[in-house]
Amino acid sequence: MQSGLLFGVFAAGLLCLGTAAGQQSNILTYPAEFFAQARPNTAYDMIGRLPGFVFDNGNTARGFAGTAGNVLIDGQRPTSKTDDLQSILTRIPASDVAQIQIVRGGAPGIDMQGQTVVANVVRKKEASTQVVTNFEDYIFTGDGHHIPIGSLQVTHHTGDSIYEGSISSLGNYDDSVGHGTHRFILFDPNHLPQITNQPARSTGEGFGGAITGAATIPLFGGQFKANLAFQDSPFDSSFAYYGPNQLVRDVSGNDNGELGLHWQGPLGGLELEALVLQRLSHLTDANSSDTSFDLVTHQPEHDRFTSSSDTSESIARETLRYSPSDRLTFEAGGEMALNTLHGHTQFTQNGTNIPLPTPNPHVQERRSEVFGQETWKIAPQWLLEAGARFEFSTISETGEVNLSRTFFYPKPRLMLTWTPDADTQVRARYENVVGQLDFNNFIATSNLSGTGVTAGNTGLRPDQHQQYEISYERHFWDKGAATISFMHEQISDVVDFVPVTDANGNVFDAPGNIGSGTNEKLSFSLNLPLDWIGLKNGILKAVNTLQWSRVPDPTTGQERVISGQRPQDIELRIRQDIESLSSTWSISYYNCWDEWYYRPDQLRHRRVIPPYLTAYWEWKPEPSLSLHFEIDNFVPFVYDDQFFNARTTRADVGLASFEEISIQSQPHLYIQIRKTFG
The pLDDT assigned to 109 comes to 66
Is residue 160 classed exposed, middle or buried when 0-12, 13-18 and 19+ CB atoms within 10 A define those classes? exposed
Q: Is the pLDDT of residue 168 over 60?
A: yes
Q: Can you tell me the distance from the alpha carbon of 550 to that of 514, in angstroms, rounded to the nearest whole number? A: 12
297 conformational bin, left if phi > 0, alpha if psi -120 to 50, beta if neither? alpha
Q: Is the pLDDT of residue 449 over 70?
A: no
The pLDDT assigned to 1 comes to 44
Q: Can you tell me the distance from the alpha carbon of 389 to that of 431, in angstroms, rounded to the nearest whole number? A: 10
Within a 10 A sphere around the Cβ of 65, how many other Cβ atoms?
20
Per the structure, the count of domains in the chain is 1
Q: Is the pLDDT of residue 262 over 70?
A: yes
Arithmetic mean of pLDDT over the chain: 87
Q: Can you tell me the distance from the alpha carbon of 587 to that of 636, in angstroms, rounded to the nearest whole number? A: 15
Residue 575's pLDDT band (cuts 50, 70, 90):
very high
User: Which residues, listed in sequence order, are joined to residue 328 by a DSSP beta bridge?
Assistant: 325, 376
Which range (8-12, 95-99, 522-526) has the least confidence? Answer: 8-12
Judge whether 661 and 641 are in contact, CB under 8 Å.
yes
Q: Is the pLDDT of residue 384 over 70?
A: yes
Q: Is the pLDDT of residue 385 over 90?
A: yes
pLDDT tens-digit profile of 135-151?
Answer: 999 999 988 999 999 99
pLDDT tens-digit profile of 106-135?
Answer: 776 677 777 888 999 999 888 889 999 999
In this structure, is the dihedral angle defined by the CA atoms of residues 170, 175, 179 and 180, taken in order, positive or negative? negative
The pLDDT assigned to 191 comes to 84
Q: Can you tell me the distance from the alpha carbon of 90 to that of 155, in angstroms, rounded to the nearest whole number? A: 12
Which range (14-18, 253-257, 324-328, 592-596) has the least confidence? Answer: 14-18
The pLDDT assigned to 318 comes to 95
pLDDT tens-digit profile of 580-633?
Answer: 999 999 999 999 999 999 998 899 999 999 899 999 999 999 999 999 999 999
Residue 402's pLDDT band (cuts 50, 70, 90):
confident
The pLDDT assigned to 294 comes to 64
Q: Can you tell me the distance from the alpha carbon of 85 to that of 103, in angstroms, rounded to the nearest whole number? A: 18
Which range (213-222, 400-409, 540-549) has the least confidence? Answer: 400-409
Judge whether 340 and 363 are in contact, CB under 8 Å.
yes
Q: Is the pLDDT of residue 15 over 50?
A: no
pLDDT tens-digit profile of 360-380?
Answer: 888 899 999 999 999 999 998
The pLDDT assigned to 299 comes to 72
pLDDT tens-digit profile of 485-537?
Answer: 999 999 999 999 888 776 666 677 888 899 999 999 999 999 999 999 999 99
Give how far Cα 38 sits from Cα of 124, 527, 672, 675, Å.
Answer: 19, 15, 17, 17
Buried b (16+ CB within 10 A) or exposed e, 498-513: bbbebeeeeebbbbbb
Q: Is the pLDDT of residue 12 over 50?
A: no
Judge whether 568 and 608 are in contact, CB under 8 Å.
no
The pLDDT assigned to 454 comes to 65
The pLDDT assigned to 335 comes to 94
Q: Is the pLDDT of residue 93 over 50?
A: yes
Q: Is the pLDDT of residue 3 over 50?
A: no
Residue in 127, 337, 83, 339 with CA at minimum distance from that of residue 227: 83
The pLDDT assigned to 16 comes to 45
Within a 10 A sphere around the Cβ of 427, how many other Cβ atoms?
23
The pLDDT assigned to 626 comes to 96
Residue 63's pLDDT band (cuts 50, 70, 90):
low
The pLDDT assigned to 464 comes to 94
Q: Is the pLDDT of residue 13 over 60?
A: no
Give how far Cα 528 sits from Cα of 12, 49, 551, Å.
Answer: 9, 12, 37
Residue 316's pLDDT band (cuts 50, 70, 90):
very high
**What is the average per-residue pLDDT within 322-342?**
92
Q: Is the pLDDT of residue 17 over 50?
A: no
Which secondary-structure segment (H or E) carries 272?
A: strand 270-291
The pLDDT assigned to 359 comes to 79
Judge whether 309 and 350 are in contact, CB under 8 Å.
no
Tell me which residue range forms the domain holding 546.
Answer: 2-677
Specify the higher pLDDT residue, 442 or 147. Answer: 147
Which range (175-179, 190-194, 290-294) has the least confidence? Answer: 290-294
The pLDDT assigned to 6 comes to 45
Q: Can you tell me the distance from the alpha carbon of 368 to that of 335, in angstroms, rounded to the nearest whole number? A: 6
pLDDT tens-digit profile of 192-207?
Answer: 899 988 898 988 888 9
Q: Is the pLDDT of residue 14 over 60?
A: no
What CATH number did the domain enclosing 463 receive? 2.40.170.20
**What is the average per-residue pLDDT within 167-173?**
91
Which secondary-structure segment (H or E) carries 323?
A: strand 301-325
The pLDDT assigned to 62 comes to 60
The pLDDT assigned to 607 comes to 95
Residue 236's pLDDT band (cuts 50, 70, 90):
confident
Residue in 443, 442, 444 with CA at minimum distance from that of residue 458: 442
The pLDDT assigned to 224 comes to 95
For a pLDDT cut of 70, what percent of the chain falls above it? 89
Residue in 553, 562, 599, 245 with CA at minimum distance from that of residue 447: 599
Which range (5-14, 99-108, 387-396, 410-419) has the least confidence? Answer: 5-14
Judge whether 141 and 635 are in contact, CB under 8 Å.
no
Judge whether 673 and 135 are in contact, CB under 8 Å.
yes
Specify the higher pLDDT residue, 71 or 290. Answer: 71
Q: Can you tell me the distance from the alpha carbon of 83 to that of 60, in angstroms, rounded to the nearest whole number? A: 10
Q: Can you tell me the distance from the alpha carbon of 173 to that of 176, in angstroms, rounded to the nearest whole number? A: 9
